[in-house]
């Protein structure tokens, strides 16, 4: 009896007689020349999202000057939620609108993952961390070394695995995941929904935060999620279109979990500034500046790495160019 091996396109699942091959995966004629393309609107909307983040900081400064400590608890909760959700909503809206303009039928996954990320934060992460593990209570009572390790082992791995699972098990096989950069788009979408919902809980659990100090703390936390999500998204985007070694995705997960834990730790720990040999004061700025710098540095590094990988793929698949 004859055995015929059926070949499928990695992206569109179309059955192929003569598949094109790249990095151990098989493609149809269309998708083999598509995955390394770089839709420019992702980076453009990401820069605009970062701009919205910086505008939020300016808004916090102005609101603090105008309202100071005069807002009551309800208004502080509403103001905190508005400030912290501005930048994620700007990014997801701009990305979705620009992707609809750039090609027919924009993928439904970015807004869907944004919503799913929020739901997981509400239904799973917050109950586990606040009611079962009571992590924040323990972190407030333990020393700096314990806080550092707990941020990486408990916060970092848990949060990054949630984002990994949302992208890897839900949207990985969908034909709309047809560019490497979509690894970043999907992970970032899930991350923004997830981090925004967790920030909402942070505001509600603390019965409203002060406008400036609390707002900067929330933005630091947002950056502490977004920068590692870019790392994870890069690994997912590469692995989707190449058969990488079995430890590749886990290495990405490990790296992003460490980055997440480190940034969550630094975002709060750096705010305790030494006033003298025996006195310690509080300023929200060091943690905020470190978090934003880490986000910008991570974004620039991922941008450079992805462009290099795409250029290499283009050169390998088009040797005549």
Partner 1 sequence: MNNTASRNQTNVSKLSRNDRLSAVLAVTLTFGAIALGLLFRQEATNQTWLFESRAAGIAARYPAGWLVDERGNYVARIRDPRARPYKTQYVISVVPVSSQSTVRNVLDSLTLQRASDLAAYRVLLVEEIATSGAARTRMRFAFVDADPNPFIQRLPVVVLGEDIIILDGNRAIVATFMADKDAYDTDHPAFERFLASLRH
Residue 248 lies near partner 1 (rule: CB under 8 A): yes
Q: Does 257 bind partner 1 (CB under 8 A)?
A: yes
CB within 8 A of 266, min separation 6: which ones? 287, 290, 291, 294
What DSSP element (H or E) covers 280? strand 280-282
Minimum CB separation from partner 1 for residue 253, in Å?
5
User: Is position 69 an interface residue for partner 1 (rule: CB under 8 A)?
Assistant: no
Give yes or no for residue 249 binding partner 1 (CB under 8 A). Answer: yes
Among 72, 105, 247, 279, binds partner 1 (CB under 8 A): 247
Tell which residue, 231, 214, 199, has the closest CA to residue 295.
Answer: 231
161 binds partner 1 (CB under 8 A): yes
How many chain residues are in contact with partner 1, going by CB under 8 A? 46
What φ, ψ does residue 300 adopt, rounded to 5°?
A: -65, -40
By CB under 8 A, the residues from 16 to 35 that bind partner 1 are 17, 24-25
| Shortest distance (Å) from residue 256 CB to partner 1 | 11
Beta-carbon contacts of 245 under 8 Å, excluding residues fewer than 6 positions away, are none
Place of tokens 């393309």: 37
Min CB(203)–partner 1 separation in Å: 20
21 forms beta bridges with 26
Least gap, CB of 96 to partner 1 (angstroms): 27
CB-nearer residue toward partner 1: 17 or 320: 17
Applying CB under 8 A, among 53, 77, 154, 166 the residue interacting with partner 1 is 154
Q: Which two tokens stand for residue 258?
A: 């460490």
User: Given candidates 114, 157, 200, 265, which one binds partner 1 under the rule CB under 8 A?
Assistant: 157
**Residue 133 in the binding site for partner 1 (CB under 8 A):** yes
Cβ 300 to partner 1 shortest distance, Å: 27
Contact present, 259 and 298 (Cβ < 8 Å): yes
Check residue 246 for interaction with partner 1 (CB under 8 A): yes
The pair of structure tokens assigned to 40 is: 């420019």
> Residue 25 and residue 10: Cα distance in Å, rounded?
7
Q: Is 153 in the site for partner 1 (CB under 8 A)?
A: yes
- Measured in residues, the chain has a length of 321
Residue 207 Cβ vs partner 1, minimum distance, rounded to whole Å = 15
Q: Is residue 36 within 8 Å of 237, Cβ to Cβ?
A: no
User: In angstroms, rounded to a whole number, what is the distance separating the alpha carbons of residues 282 and 275?
Assistant: 9
Contact (Cβ atoms closer than 8 angstroms) between residue 152 and residue 258: yes
Residue 143 as a binder of partner 1 (CB under 8 A): the answer is yes
By CB under 8 A, is residue 168 in contact with partner 1? yes
Q: Decide if residue 250 touches partner 1 (CB under 8 A).
A: yes
- Measure the CA–CA gap between 229 and 186, rounded to whole angstroms: 10
Q: Which residues here bind partner 1, judged by CB under 8 A?
A: 1-8, 10, 13, 15, 17, 24-25, 133, 138, 140-143, 146, 149-150, 152-154, 156-158, 160-161, 164, 168, 173, 239, 243-250, 253-254, 257
């Amino acid at each position: 009896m004859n055995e015929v091996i059926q070949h499928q396109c990695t992206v569109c699942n179309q059955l192929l007689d003569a598949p094109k091959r790249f990095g151990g995966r098989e493609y149809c004629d269309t998708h083999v020349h598509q995955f390394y393309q770089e839709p420019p609107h992702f980076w453009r909307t990401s820069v605009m999202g970062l701009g919205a983040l910086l505008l939020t900081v300016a808004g916090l400064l102005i609101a603090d000057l105008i309202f100071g400590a005069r807002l009551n608890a309800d208004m502080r909760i509403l103001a905190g939620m508005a400030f912290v959700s501005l930048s994620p909503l700007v990014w997801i809206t701009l990305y979705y609108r620009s992707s609809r303009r750039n090609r027919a039928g924009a993928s439904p996954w970015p807004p869907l993952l944004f919503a799913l990320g929020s739901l997981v934060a509400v239904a799973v992460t917050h109950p586990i961390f606040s009611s079962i593990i009571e992590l924040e209570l323990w972190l407030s009572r333990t020393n700096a070394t314990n806080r550092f390790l707990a941020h990486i082992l408990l916060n970092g791995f848990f949060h990054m695995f949630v984002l990994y699972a949302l992208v890897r098990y839900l949207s990985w096989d969908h034909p709309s995941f047809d560019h490497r950069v979509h690894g970043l788009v999907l992970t970032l979408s899930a991350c923004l929904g997830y981090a925004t919902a967790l920030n909402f809980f942070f505001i509600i659990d603390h019965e409203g935060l002060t406008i400036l100090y609390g707002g900067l703390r929330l933005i630091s936390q947002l950056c502490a999620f977004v920068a590692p999500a870019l790392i994870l998204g890069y690994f997912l985007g590469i692995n989707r279109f190449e058969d990488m070694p079995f430890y590749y995705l886990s290495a990405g997960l490990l790296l992003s979990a460490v980055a997440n834990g480190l940034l969550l730790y630094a975002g709060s720990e750096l705010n305790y500034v030494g006033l003298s040999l025996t006195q310690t004061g509080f300023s929200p700025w060091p943690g905020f500046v470190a978090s934003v710098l880490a986000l910008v540095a991570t974004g620039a590094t991922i941008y450079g790495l992805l462009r290099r990988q795409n250029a290499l793929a283009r050169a390998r698949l088009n040797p005549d160019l």
